[in-house]
Amino acid sequence: MTIQTRFETHDIFNQSPPYEDVNLFASDRPLRDAVAANGAGTEAAALSEFGKRWGAAGMFENARLANEFTPKLKTFDTKGFRRDVVEFHPAYHAFMTESMRDGMHAWTWTAEGARAAAPSEVARAARYFMIAQVENGHQCPITMTRACVGSLAVEPPLLKKLIGKITSRTYDPRFIPWWEKDGITLGMGMTEKQGGTDVRANTTVATPAGEGYSITGHKWFMSAPMCDAFLVLAQAPGGLTCFLMPRFRPDGSVNGLRFQRLKDKLGNRSNASSEVEFVDAFAWRIGEEGRGVRTIIEMVQLTRVDCIIGSAGIMRGALAQAMHHARHRTVFQKRLADQPMMRSVLADMALEMEGITALTMRLCRSFDHAADPKEAARARLLTPAVKYWICKSAPGFVYEAMECLGGNGYVEETALARLYREAPLNAIWEGSGNVMCLDVLRALSREGEAARAVLSDLVRACGDLPGVKEAAVFIAKTLSAADGEAHARVAVERLARLAATAALAEGAPGVAEAFARSRLAPSGMYGSSDLQNAEVTDLLDRALPA
């Protein structure tokens, strides 16, 4: 196609070409290094093919379409019968088809539902990271489908019945019973109106009935409502319990899920997120009564990892767009990318991205080797810390990238606006920032010895770099202090940065020193200032009297 550059009133020049038809793997040296350092080097050729396919212009265009033409809830048919279905743009279905064909929901499970051999986590994470640079909304059901298997493992007979459909590489969007479908997807509903974090406050009730339970109540957020079944939490006679609720009852009739409306969201617009009522809905119990949190946490942990990979991918996508633009745009007779201050900005963002990429893939390696107690302890301590740091860093990072494009960055046609609206989400769901910090504290108090061994390992990996030993002392002291909760944010952030330094020391030693030098000093998220209790009270009173 020839692009018209001559208008009647002016010529068009000095606009950067679209960032598309790129190989998302070959063009990303930090990713290639991190993949190789974490055991998935043999995947390089396949990842390069994947990166080329997902970086094609048509993918970016489909991402725009899927987010511009948002899902619609069809509650009733023309005669007033309930339908409770959601309609999506074909571009959304195209992404689901592609991601499921690539096995993003199934990669880490065997055909029996056991953990697949290493390096399945790292190999999948590299792919998920690239997809996140293109389209995020459809990754929600993909993530939940893969993660739910972790919880279903406590019910081997049920898992055996479902696993073939779950790991099928065929996307089947038909609204029919799961056993008639070529492939199924799974979602989850924990959050209610009166509390999301505090799931023990759930009021939804489950009563034993026939071969399962009858569930009545609601969920305030339940994303991807066209999934074929949902892990939900409800109060059974024995306490808060985990269930699997299919869209169709075992007799083939439509189950009692009544969607009230879809959320009108800031971003993540290609994905539907519903408010739903359960009216005597049929469900299978998963795990023992009263063990709901313990059961569903297996799913939550895996979902948190995808939040991390997703945010890292969003940041990489934003950085690549910023660098691409700066290399094609001239200002004051010089390429933007050659202006000294812009070079500093881009290099600093690239350094941050080095740490984030190395750390993300190193964390996924711990999941690849979860049978090793040392790696399991690392995953336990670091997953919430890394989610805290990376997911919370994403909005500011994407904003900085957006500013590199000037006004062009702020308009919808560039992907930056969409990435920016998407960026806060991963920090909010599956445990918001404070909740992640509390989880780090919990790991330290319940499995203190293992957690301290992880900290020692991190220091061993990079102890000769500037600031490492001081950071480790600060982290240990702050998190074990009597008022540790009040100051947890600053220590958890430093823990994640320390882990990133260690990951770089192993996977990209050439940049580890610069990262340590500039990133291990105390820093700047809200909640990190060294305020005394009296100052906190005074500031809060001045801001808004109680």
Ligand X SMILES: Cc1cc2nc3c(=O)[nH]c(=O)nc-3n(C[C@H](O)[C@H](O)[C@H](O)COP(=O)(O)OP(=O)(O)OC[C@H]3O[C@@H](n4cnc5c(N)ncnc54)[C@H](O)[C@@H]3O)c2cc1C
478-485's contacts with Cβ under 8 Å and 24+ in sequence apart are 479/440, 479/441, 479/444, 480/444, 483/533, 484/441, 485/437, 485/438, 485/441
* Closest distance of CB 187 from ligand X, Å: 6
Query: What is the Cα 521 distance to its own chain's centre?
Result: 27
Closest CA to 298 of 442, 148, 120, 158: 148
DSSP type of residue 527 = T
434-473: contacts with ligand X (CB under 6 A): 434-435, 438
How far apart are the C-alpha atoms of 333 and 326, rounded to whole Å? Answer: 13
- Take residue 540 and report the two structure tokens written for it: 């809060």
Q: Which residues pair with 241 in a beta bridge?
A: 234
Q: Candidates 24-32, 62-70, 184-192, 317-325: pick the segment binding ligand X (CB under 6 A).
A: 184-192
Cα separation values, 407 from 15, 184, 308, 389, Å = 12, 43, 29, 28
Beta carbon nearer to ligand X, 326 or 441: 441
Instruction: Give the per-residue contact string, 399-438, with ligand X (x = CB under 6 A; - = no).
Output: --------------------------x--xxx-xxxx--x
Beta carbon nearer to ligand X, 83 or 265: 265
Beta carbon nearer to ligand X, 28 or 84: 84
Beta carbon nearer to ligand X, 385 or 465: 385
* Closest distance of CB 435 from ligand X, Å: 5
- Take residue 52 and report the two structure tokens written for it: 């080329």
**Does 190 help bind ligand X (rule: CB under 6 A)?**
yes
Q: Backbone phi, then psi, for 430, in 5-degree steps?
A: 60, 40
Q: Candidates 63-71, 182-190, 489-497, 509-517: pick the segment binding ligand X (CB under 6 A).
A: 182-190
* Closest distance of CB 269 from ligand X, Å: 10
**Residue-wise DSSP of 107-129:** TTB-TTSSBPPTTHHHHHHHHHH
* Closest distance of CB 107 from ligand X, Å: 21
Residue 49 CB neighbours (<10 A): 13
* Closest distance of CB 223 from ligand X, Å: 3
**Does 70 help bind ligand X (rule: CB under 6 A)?**
no
* Closest distance of CB 268 from ligand X, Å: 5
Beta carbon nearer to ligand X, 181 or 387: 387
* Closest distance of CB 93 from ligand X, Å: 20
Beta carbon nearer to ligand X, 202 or 366: 202
Beta carbon nearer to ligand X, 388 or 515: 388
Beta carbon nearer to ligand X, 70 or 434: 434
Q: Which residues pair with 208 in a beta bridge?
A: 213
Beta carbon nearer to ligand X, 18 or 195: 195
Closest CA to 70 of 261, 294, 314: 261
* Closest distance of CB 533 from ligand X, Å: 16
* Closest distance of CB 86 from ligand X, Å: 13
DSSP type of residue 500 = H
Beta carbon nearer to ligand X, 290 or 527: 527
Q: Candidates 178-186, 187-195, 249-257, 305-313: pick the segment binding ligand X (CB under 6 A).
A: 187-195
Return the biggest CA–CA distance within the chain. 77
* Closest distance of CB 135 from ligand X, Å: 15
Instruction: Give the per-residue contact string, 211-250, with ligand X (x = CB under 6 A; - = no).
Output: ----------xxx---------------------------
How far apart are the C-alpha atoms of 445 and 437, rounded to whole Å? Answer: 13
Interface with ligand X: number of residues (CB under 6 A): 23
DSSP type of residue 188 = E
Report the residue from 167, 268, 360, 478 that binds ligand X according to the rule CB under 6 A. 268
**Does 528 help bind ligand X (rule: CB under 6 A)?**
no
Beta carbon nearer to ligand X, 38 or 191: 191
**Does 196 help bind ligand X (rule: CB under 6 A)?**
yes
**Does 197 help bind ligand X (rule: CB under 6 A)?**
yes
Closest CA to 427 of 394, 398, 380, 402: 394
**Residue-wise DSSP of 217-256:** EEEEEEE-TTSSEEEEEEEETTEEEEEEEESB-TTSSBPS
**Does 75 help bind ligand X (rule: CB under 6 A)?**
no
Beta carbon nearer to ligand X, 235 or 268: 268
In single-letter form, the type of residue at position 162 comes to L
Question: Which ranges of 447-487 would DSSP assign to H, the alpha helix?
Answer: 448-462, 468-480
**Does 189 help bind ligand X (rule: CB under 6 A)?**
yes
* Closest distance of CB 387 from ligand X, Å: 12
Q: Candidates 181-189, 284-292, 455-463, 514-522: pick the segment binding ligand X (CB under 6 A).
A: 181-189
Sign of CA dihedral 89, 93, 96, 98: negative
Q: Residue 18, preceding bond cis, omega within 30 degrees?
A: no
Cβ burial of 466 (10 Å; 0-12, 13-18, 19+) is middle
Cβ burial of 161 (10 Å; 0-12, 13-18, 19+) is middle
**Position closest to ligand X via CB:** 196
* Closest distance of CB 230 from ligand X, Å: 8
* Closest distance of CB 329 from ligand X, Å: 34
Beta carbon nearer to ligand X, 103 or 196: 196
Does an H or E element contain 62, and which? helix 57-68
Instruction: Give the per-residue contact string, 269-288, with ligand X (x = CB under 6 A; - = no).
Output: ----x---------------
Binding residues for ligand X (CB under 6 A): 187-191, 195-197, 221-223, 265, 268, 273, 425, 428-430, 432-435, 438
